[in-house]
Chain A
């Protein structure tokens, strides 16, 4: 008996470190296999970014300038943040159609606190986020406890919150936001040295966590990533961050009287949100349970997971992130009006998440998806604006891109179902 156990244990051990075999080439081959079997990850979004850059910079050389790059990042801010929140709801296989106007309501609360009542910025921000949390609790309760489909609950929310914005803004007045801290989020830039320091910190932090993780796995005799692959990823990130910071630190002002350079403040804001939520999803039991509920709710329930609590939390996170998105939108426009968070904002948010690779069927997605997808969406809006196309074309093009992303999602789902 014991002899067979040890034998089979060795057999299992020999069979497991498949990743170590075949070197870098083997790694690439297994990546190719993953892509073919439908798990495309960030590939479509990255391809989209490359193609759009080539097309738009060929059509309008001004697309590929430091000035436009900085504009693109600030423009992407509210979309990316909204998309990050929507990832949580989409992971459960639910949808939040009210997130756009929820961000409008929160932005209105912010403006009223700051401008009408004269509170300091942090009170305004706290009030906006608390509003978002309350909205999320309400939506989550109706979906998880009452059992109304999220599509219906949030469609009702879509209308109700639109009305709430109108009511808060006294039937359509425009409240301007003058608080310097809030305005700086989307309109100010970091000193070049700070940009370099934060960039270096990001790369160093990434490298350290990767090295510690892989070393721990090796020590325990678990299959680990090849050192070449780790180095490749770290160097890749370093190059990306380095080029971005260098470009953004160039002088963008055409007016010799004042200077305009540095990384937009919104970039580290998004960086921190990305870090925090990625940590929550990938490294905590709560995040694991979100994936489990999205993958198989019954299995999650039998595993003793409090499914209702997970579902409500996802809606709370989504609406709270909508509040942050509303704050950024208010900062960008320097005011809040009845259209803040309205029209296509929600669609852009959903499109950002889906284009990045988050599945509409639940169970698959990352917070990073919203960043990549948000960049694609913003490039389309920004690029077509530069080329001079009208809103009519922009809407149609964005709709087509969303459909394309959704069909990539559906296709990869079919592919992975067929390969099992």
Chain B
């Protein structure tokens, strides 16, 4: 399989007396979609925020392409090619697509904004993702549909030569057709060689696009398996009880 792009080993994270992540191991491979599943409170968001540098980890190893790195803040994560697309999107409604994609990292010539270059890059990025749903990259984001906004948010993450894109429930608020569009886009990201982590509650989405499934249960990694090796109900069992037949955590409390 080769070296994973991102490998976490023995990650622990507590908030005061509450231990949210226990000895978590997690691997993400380039060119694959890894679905991160788990019930509410299982620690998915915390894990993602640790990867993104928003929360510092208490202990454990963080490896990028086999080398140990230290990620203390979002900027460190971005410098290692990690981009997170949050559920609440973080786009400015009053700016257009190009302006949003380059927000905070504008291309300049001298002190003046280099609009033609930014517009071209934005167009190329969207074209590279085979996005056909946006009419003009100079459209204001307020005029876009939910699916189109999600597309722009994902394109924004891809623009920066990122290696790992983490999507936090990208289809949660979308209709059927738009969900389909976004899932196709997610698949294309991986086909273009990126490593993708998809957080989702929706088993259909998970089985539609993912190559691997990582299931968290009460702050521990219950199992990380190939999607083709498991069934729908096995994954649900992993999410709800932490084990399913041979898979999953060995004994409740044994690890403690």
Contact = CB atoms under 8 A, between A and B. Distances in A.
Given A217-B116, A291-B92, A304 B104 contact: yes
Contacts of B138: 223
A364 B90 contact: no
Contact of A295 (B74, B95, B123, B144): B95
Interface string B142-166: 1111000000000000000000000
A18 B135 contact: yes
A12 B105 contact: no
Interface residues on B, range: 35 or more
Interface in A296-334: 296, 298-300, 302-305
B127 A292 contact: no
B95 A12 contact: no
Given A18-B136, A220-B120, A300-B103, A284 B94 contact: no
Given A18-B135, A18-B136, A222-B120, A8 B130 contact: yes
Contacts of B93: 295-296, 363
Interface stretch (B22-30, B42-50, B62-70, B106-114): B106-114
A296 B90 contact: yes
Interface stretch (A117-125, A171-179, A412-420): A412-420
B104 A417 contact: no
A416 B90 CA distance: 19
Contacts of A299: 89-92, 103
A255 interface: no
Contacts of B132: 8, 11-12, 15
A302 B135 contact: no
B128 interface: yes
Nearest to A218: B116
B58 interface: no
A254 interface: no
A288 interface: yes
Contacts of A13: 123, 127
B127 A1 contact: no
Contacts of B119: 222
A291 B135 contact: no
Nearest to B75: A304
Nearest to A299: B90
B136 A9 contact: no
B96 to A, nearest CB: 10
A37 B139 CA distance: 13
Interface residues of A, number: 41
A390 interface: no
B144 to A, nearest CB: 7
A15 B138 CA distance: 13
A272 interface: no
Interface string A16-28: 1011000000000
A1 B90 contact: no
A294 interface: yes
Nearest to B131: A12
Contacts of B145: 420
A257 interface: no
A247 B106 CA distance: 44
Contact of A16 (B75, B116, B130, B136): B136
B130 to A, nearest CB: 4
A4 B112 contact: no
Nearest to A19: B136
Given A216-B116, A300-B92, A4 B130 contact: yes
B128 A5 contact: yes
Contacts of B124: 9
A298 B74 CA distance: 15
B104 A305 contact: yes
B113 A15 contact: no
B155 to A, nearest CB: 12
Given A222-B116, A284-B112, A305-B104, A291 B94 contact: yes
A16 B112 contact: no
A12 B120 contact: no
Contacts of A420: 142-145
B7 to A, nearest CB: 26
Contacts of B86: 302
B126 interface: yes
A292 B103 contact: yes
A303 B78 CA distance: 11
Given A222-B120, A223-B136, A298 B90 contact: yes
B99 interface: yes
Interface of B: 74-75, 86, 88-95, 99, 103-106, 108, 111-113, 116, 119-120, 123-124, 126-128, 130-132, 135-138, 142-145, 191
Top 5 nearest A-B pairs (CB, nearest first) are A303-B104, A295-B94, A363-B94, A295-B92, A8-B130
17 contacts: A5-B128, A8-B127, A8-B130, A15-B132, A15-B135, A16-B123, A222-B119, A284-B111, A284-B113, A291-B94, A292-B103, A299-B89, A303-B90, A304-B74, A304-B105, A420-B142, A420-B144
Given A5-B127, A284-B113, A303-B105, 7 more contacts: A16-B137, A217-B116, A222-B123, A284-B111, A295-B95, A299-B89, A303-B104
